[in-house]
Structure 1
Amino acid sequence: MYFLSFVWHKTLLALAPPSRPPPSTPVLTTCAHFNPATGPLTPLGDWCSTPSEEEEEDDDRSYLKHLFAMEASNTLDGGYLERQAPGAGLGPCSSPMASRERASVVDWMTEAAGVVGLPSDVLFLGVALLDRFLAARVAAAAEAAACGAKPAAPERPLQLVAAVALWVATKYEHGYGASVEVFRRDLLCGMYSRRDLLDTEAELLRAVDYRLSSIVTPHAFLTRAFRGLPAREAARAARAPAAAAAADALFYLTSYLSEAALLEYSMLPFAPSAVAASALALAHLLLGLPVTSEELRARSGYGWEDITLPFAWLRQVHVEVCRAGANRTPYAAWTKFLTAETRWAAAVPPLLSFADPRLPEVTAGRAAAPAGAAGAPPLQRRPSLKRQRAGATAAAAKGAAAGRRQEEDGGAAAGALGACALFCPTP
């Protein structure tokens, strides 16, 4: 048997055609668009060439226009809490839900994101999903009340909905996410079953009509604004540590302000792009960095005259969050950005009036420096971590005390709108 197989193998080898030497010319010569003398029509180096400044500016403008179009295509009902029907509210036992309760849920989401290790884009999308879910429930309850029927959807605890919103945002933003058991065990302490989380996920996706791709958050606009930050890139290229540190401080302070804005229900009527522009503008003022209206418009799409109202609300939110931290009842965003990795962004004192010493520098810088020529001042040497923490607490306490004295004297800060709805819920 083995002998017959050996003979058959030798026979096949004998009948096979002889091997040919490799061709001397490349196979690509058969292509009509290839000339062996000159090479391909498009050099390979041009395919990976660095785009010019004009091309980068065109791409940046096109991307910003795309973000604005997506923002306009999927808006949020910013006043859904005022539209709660009697006996069909979002609170426990169908009671009306106040803005203070929403702020508590968002604060828990910020803390939960830190426990699981979720990035900021997941937190922003999770809060946006939560607001859209609550707005859809209010609309469904109002429609059912008008028809004299009960809502078809069962009541979902806010903590369960918030955890599922973070889970869905994680899977969408990064294509993968932690196991459902991690959210059920670590965030919800095993109070709900796996089926409860899956049913809530299905209801959440139906509430947003499965349109997660068109939900734009302030994080998207801030990512675009800091991606081409001229001062940061120039500082790193020139190896200037002080200017690079100032740019990092601006980035973390803007991120801190935008996450603090998530707590305030009264910020929902404003577009995410306006919230991002207000955070960027307020961060410049808090750090004493000059920025003109043209520079602000180039980075965010808004000028100073376009963000008067959201800027005033965000400034007051910053005051209240710093005051809560000084009173030893801090919010998760304040604790998150009170670290050395975030350049102690939460330790920056708020603006209380036009008498703040940081404002004249900005005004003088605007008048003296031409557009696009504003540079970041060098930062002083930082003290030890222990002194930084002590100084942060003292600065926050000083700001809170100044704010209380200002209220007692009857003088409100210029541009302030009074207490936030976060602490004084709108009836």
Structure 2
Amino acid sequence: MRMIVVSWMAEVSDEFGLQPETLHLGVALLDRFLSAAAPHGVPRGVLQMVAVACIMVAGKDLEVSHPTVEQLTAIAANCFTPQDLLRMERVLLDALDFTVCTQTAFTFLHLFAQGLDCLPAHVAALAVYLLDLTLLDYGLLSFPPSQLAAGALTLAMHTYGLGPAPVADTLRLAGYAPADMAAVSGCLLHLHQNAAWCGAPSALRPEWFV
């Protein structure tokens, strides 16, 4: 069920032209809310409204121009009212103790890319794509966001044959040894190889995806 909801969040984010970082923050808020609600669970009929509230809060935090309450309820086929969504926003913020800002894997990827000299655009694009795919796999939450970002970036570098120096620079920036990356790199490689079959929504596929 989570994978379906996150896939839909990606489509909504794409529809409104939101930044990738907004989607990553929205999914992080969703996972934190689900974790906080774990003892009782979230009714299936409410889950879509929770997801929309997460996108709305993330958009308010990161976007210069974010979707309105009316636009967000419309894209959810008016399954709930704007007033319902505003109430859910308050429930979400209460559950998160009004702590919205959190470091996602995308945040770390941006930091690592800034610390490298002349990172090729196609390598950065593949790293972003790999991180987008991780949003669909709940099991990858076991890895710290910084490790996911370092794994995505180094795997992209290996894929395009950049050589050992940029990989070493990335690991130095991230504070990881090569041995630390074996498990996360294996998971990311598996995601990449099976992307066509894992149900990844079109919104997460770059233009060169085949």
The TM-score with structure 1 as length reference comes to: 0.46
CA distance, structure 2, for counterparts of residue 166 and residue 314 of structure 1 = 25
CA distance, structure 1, for counterparts of residue 77 and residue 10 of structure 2 = 17
C-alpha contact (below 8 Å) 2:108/2:149 kept by paired residues: yes
User: Which structure has the larger Rg over C-alpha atoms?
Assistant: 1
Equivalences for 1:21-36 in 2 at 5 Å? none
> Which one-letter code corresponds to 2:37 in the other structure?
R
Once the two structures are superposed, residues 326-353 of structure 1 have per-residue CA deviations (whole angstroms, 9 ceiling, x without a partner) of xxx6523543x1x2xxxx2x3xxxxxxx
Question: How much has 1:255 moved relative to structure 2?
Answer: 0.4
> Which one-letter code corresponds to 2:87 in the other structure?
D
Partner of 1:318: 192
Match of 1:208 among 96, 99, 104: 96
CA distance, structure 2, for counterparts of residue 154 and residue 263 of structure 1 = 20
Partner of 1:271: 144
CA distance, structure 2, for counterparts of residue 252 and residue 193 of structure 1 = 37
Partner of 1:300: 174
Question: How much has 1:156 moved relative to structure 2?
Answer: 5.6
C-alpha contact (below 8 Å) 1:296/1:304 kept by paired residues: no
Question: How much has 1:191 moved relative to structure 2?
Answer: 1.5
After superposition, the Cα gap between the structure-2 partners of 1:165 and 1:273, relative to the gap in structure 1 and judged at 3 Å, is same
After superposition, the Cα gap between the structure-2 partners of 1:231 and 1:188, relative to the gap in structure 1 and judged at 3 Å, is same
Structure 2, unaligned stretches of length 5 or more?
none
C-alpha contact (below 8 Å) 2:155/2:185 kept by paired residues: yes
After superposition, the Cα gap between the structure-2 partners of 1:175 and 1:209, relative to the gap in structure 1 and judged at 3 Å, is farther
Partner of 1:49: none
Aligned-residue sequence identity (percent) comes to 33
Between stretches 188-197 and 123-132, larger displacement belongs to 188-197
After superposition, the Cα gap between the structure-2 partners of 1:262 and 1:154, relative to the gap in structure 1 and judged at 3 Å, is closer
Q: CA RMSD in A?
A: 2.0
Partner of 1:220: 107
CA distance, structure 2, for counterparts of residue 115 and residue 294 of structure 1 = 37
C-alpha contact (below 8 Å) 1:103/1:264 kept by paired residues: yes
Structure number with the bigger relative contact order (C-alpha 8 A, sep ≥ 6) is 2
CA distance, structure 2, for counterparts of residue 318 and residue 182 of structure 1 = 33
Once the two structures are superposed, residues 257-309 of structure 1 have per-residue CA deviations (whole angstroms, 9 ceiling, x without a partner) of 00101111110111101110110111112112213453122333323211221
Structure 1, unaligned stretches of length 5 or more?
1-100, 143-152, 233-246, 347-391, 393-427
Partner of 1:257: 130
C-alpha contact (below 8 Å) 2:112/2:170 kept by paired residues: no
CA distance, structure 1, for counterparts of residue 153 and residue 6 of structure 2 = 22
CA distance, structure 2, for counterparts of residue 249 and residue 155 of structure 1 = 39
CA distance, structure 2, for counterparts of residue 256 and residue 271 of structure 1 = 18
Once the two structures are superposed, residues 3-34 of structure 1 have per-residue CA deviations (whole angstroms, 9 ceiling, x without a partner) of xxxxxxxxxxxxxxxxxxxxxxxxxxxxxxxx
Partner of 1:413: none
Aligned length: 209
After superposition, the Cα gap between the structure-2 partners of 1:156 and 1:301, relative to the gap in structure 1 and judged at 3 Å, is farther
After superposition, the Cα gap between the structure-2 partners of 1:290 and 1:230, relative to the gap in structure 1 and judged at 3 Å, is same
CA distance, structure 2, for counterparts of residue 277 and residue 330 of structure 1 = 22
C-alpha contact (below 8 Å) 2:6/2:136 kept by paired residues: yes
> Which one-letter code corresponds to 1:284 in the other structure?
M
The TM-score with structure 2 as length reference comes to: 0.91
